[in-house]
A = this chain, B = another copy of it.
Amino acid sequence: MQLGLVGLGKMGFNMRERIRRAGHEVVGYDRNPEVTDTASLAELVDRLEAPRVVWVMVPSGDITRNTITELSGLLSAGDLVIEGGNSRFTDDKVNADLLGEKGIRYVDAGVSGGVWGLENGYGLMVGGAAEDVELAQPIFDALRPEGPREEGFAHAGPVGAGHFAKMVHNGIEYGLMQAYAEGFELLAASDLVENVPETIKAWQRGTVVRSWLLDLLVRALDSDPELDDLRGHVEDSGEGRWTVEEAINHAVPAPVISAALFARFASRQPDSPAMRAVAALRNQFGGHSVVSAGPSSGTGSTQS
């Protein structure tokens, strides 16, 4: 089938390739002339036959909204837009309504897999009406991994459900990564375990903690056994925050996911204001400006 694909960055570029390998026709648009197939969104729309299916894969936020808005002026009733970026699920209802005014259909898709998706396929979670999802199923089937469809693709619910599921997926991912990271640090701190990379490598088969993330950690340790080519300064990209916020909205305890999120925040603070406050309180116990203690070889520190 035909697909219009807007956004040919790290994700979209590879997705175009994977969909083409599956035998479909992809018309891509990107403002970067080196990768684009068309000169404009309008040209992209022109080159597709109705009912058109256009996948939007651009940065979440304003760029996505602007692209949706522009498409609403170019597409026709019955066409379908799939929004596959890292958007917050609350954006989907707005997008769907915006397009729905013109009779344009809307499906949101959470896409997981990173650049590995080109070879491995992408895990997909989509939200929308059953008939709209069905229209794009050949594309989803091209993108998802080999194997049973239900192990790499889910129609999670109505519009928004795809991004909601992807949000939770990423929240879990934060927790998983932090769990491995704490274990790595403890192994590295121990005198007993002499070869940390080898020990972690041995977890790849047979153990309870084996996973794709573990494979990636082994891969990282292969080239940098103490991970000292890196700084422990970790960004977050939205989904972790949204997961905790939704947990709060639903009164769901999320101690692990929030701890993982806060560890990232803390990793970016060269000097924590909160810990300066704790330090200040400890200094106050000493009360040096108030009480002049005699010099002594006794208890060096003041008891709180």
* A246: min CB distance to chain B, Å: 6
**A244 in the interface (beta carbon within 8 A):** yes
**A69 in the interface (beta carbon within 8 A):** no
**A40 in the interface (beta carbon within 8 A):** no
Pairwise interchain contact A277-B181, C-beta atoms closer than 8 A: yes
- Top 3 A-B residue pairs of the complex, sorted by shortest distance between their CB atoms: A9-B298, A175-B179, A211-B211
Complex: A150 Cα to B221 Cα, angstroms:
14
**Chain A window 147-162, contacts with chain B (Cβ cutoff 8 Å), 1 for yes, 0 for no:** 1001111111110110
Complex: A219 Cα to B278 Cα, angstroms:
13
**A206 in the interface (beta carbon within 8 A):** yes
Pairwise interchain contact B275-A234, C-beta atoms closer than 8 A: yes
Q: Known contacts being A120-B206, A285-B208, is A276 close to B186, with CB within 8 Å?
A: no
Pairwise interchain contact B168-A172, C-beta atoms closer than 8 A: no
**A98 in the interface (beta carbon within 8 A):** no
Pairwise interchain contact B281-A253, C-beta atoms closer than 8 A: no
Question: Given B253, B268, B284, which contacts A216 in the complex, CB threshold below 8 Å?
Answer: B284
Pairwise interchain contact A193-B205, C-beta atoms closer than 8 A: no
Instruction: List residues of chain B with CB within 8 A of the CB of A253.
Output: 182, 185, 262-263, 265-266, 269, 272, 274
Identical subunits present = 4
Instruction: List residues of chain B with CB within 8 A of the CB of A263.
Output: 253, 255-256, 266, 272, 274-275, 278
* A230: min CB distance to chain B, Å: 5
Pairwise interchain contact A232-B294, C-beta atoms closer than 8 A: no
**A31 in the interface (beta carbon within 8 A):** yes
Pairwise interchain contact A281-B230, C-beta atoms closer than 8 A: no
Complex: A295 Cα to B8 Cα, angstroms:
9
Instruction: List residues of chain B with CB within 8 A of the CB of A298.
Output: 7-13, 30, 32, 35, 57-59
Would you list which residues of chain A between 265 and 304 have a CB under 8 Å from chain B?
A: 265-269, 271-288, 290-291, 293-304
Pairwise interchain contact B299-A115, C-beta atoms closer than 8 A: no
Pairwise interchain contact A248-B261, C-beta atoms closer than 8 A: yes
Pairwise interchain contact B58-A7, C-beta atoms closer than 8 A: no
**A220 in the interface (beta carbon within 8 A):** yes
Stretch at the interface among A19-27, A42-50, A122-130, A131-139: A122-130
